[in-house]
Amino acid sequence: MSDASHASAGHGAAGKHERLSELESWVRDGRIDTIIVAITDMQGRLMGKRVQGEAFLNGVIDHGAHFCTYLLGTDMEMNTPEGFRLMNWETGYGDWIASPVWDSLRIVPWLEKTAIVLSDTIDEDTHAEIPISPRTILKRQVDRATKAGITVKAGSEFEYYVLRDTWDQIAENGFAIPKRFGTYNEDYHLLQATKAEPLHRLLRNLMTEARIPIEFSKGEAAPGQHEVNIRYDHVLESADRSVLFKHGAKEIAYLNGWGLTFMAKPDHTWTGSSGHLHMSIWDKEGEEPLTHDEKAKLPYGMSRQFSQFVAGMMTLSRELAVFVAPFINSYKRYASLSWAPVNVVWGRDNRTTGFRLVGHGTTLHIENRFPGGDMNAYLTYAAMVGAGLYGIEHKIELAPEFKGNGYIAKGVPRMPRALYEAIAELERSKAAVQIFGQDVVDHYLNAARVEQEMYDSVVHDWERERYLERG
Mean pLDDT score, 200-206: 97
Q: What is the DSSP string of 94-122?
A: -EEEEEE-GGG-EE-TTSTTEEEEEEEEE
Quote the pLDDT of residue 90. 84
Domains and CATH numbers, the chain: 141-466 (3.30.590.10)
**CA distances (Å), origin 128, targets 48, 50, 132, 314, 398:** 19, 24, 12, 33, 38
Quote the pLDDT of residue 442. 97
- Rounded to two decimals, the pTM is 0.93
Q: Could you tell me how many helices (H) and strands (E) the chain has, helices first?
A: 14, 15
pLDDT beyond 50 at 8:
no
Q: What percent of the chain has pLDDT over 70?
A: 97
Residue 230 pairs in a beta bridge with 214
Quote the pLDDT of residue 15. 55
- Contacts of 386 by beta carbon, 8 Å cutoff, 6+ apart: 141, 144, 316, 320, 435, 436
pLDDT beyond 60 at 35:
yes
Residue 411 backbone class (left: φ over 0; alpha: ψ -120 to 50; beta: rest) = left
CB 248 within 8 A of CB 166: no
User: What is the rounded radius of gyration, in angstroms, for the C-alpha atoms of the chain?
Assistant: 22
**CA distances (Å), origin 3, targets 146, 192, 236, 299:** 25, 26, 20, 18
Helix (H, G, I), strand (E, B) or coil at 283: coil
pLDDT beyond 50 at 5:
no
Q: What is the DSSP string of 449-464?
A: HHHHHHHHHS--HHHH
Mean pLDDT score, 230-259: 97
Quote the pLDDT of residue 16. 61
The single-letter DSSP state of residue 382 is: H
Mean pLDDT score, 1-24: 57
Quote the pLDDT of residue 274. 95
373: nearest Cα among 263, 251, 214, 248: 263
CB 351 within 8 A of CB 369: yes
Phi, psi for residue 93 in degrees, rounded to 5: 45, 65
Mean pLDDT score, 213-228: 93
Residue 13 backbone class (left: φ over 0; alpha: ψ -120 to 50; beta: rest) = beta
Tens-digit pLDDT profile for residues 101-131: 999 999 999 999 999 999 999 998 899 999 9
Query: What is the chain's length?
Result: 471
Mean pLDDT score, 304-311: 98
Q: How many CB atoms lie within 10 A of CB 127?
A: 11
Give the helix, strand, coil percentages of the chain, each rounded to 5. Answer: 40, 20, 40
Quote the pLDDT of residue 59. 86
Average pLDDT, the chain: 93
pLDDT beyond 60 at 402:
yes
Quote the pLDDT of residue 93. 83
Q: Cα(196)–Cα(181) distance, rounded to whole angstroms?
A: 8
- Band (pLDDT 50/70/90 cuts) for residue 69 is confident
The single-letter DSSP state of residue 292 is: B
Residue 162 is inside which H or E element, if any? strand 151-163
pLDDT beyond 60 at 12:
no
Tens-digit pLDDT profile for residues 137-164: 999 999 999 999 999 999 999 999 999 9
Tens-digit pLDDT profile for residues 338-384: 889 999 999 999 999 999 999 999 999 999 999 999 999 999 999 99
Q: Cα(427)–Cα(38) distance, rounded to whole angstroms?
A: 31
Mean pLDDT score, 440-450: 97
pLDDT beyond 70 at 466:
yes
Quote the pLDDT of residue 2. 39
Mean pLDDT score, 222-248: 96
Strands 34-40, 114-122: parallel, antiparallel or unpaired by DSSP?
A: parallel
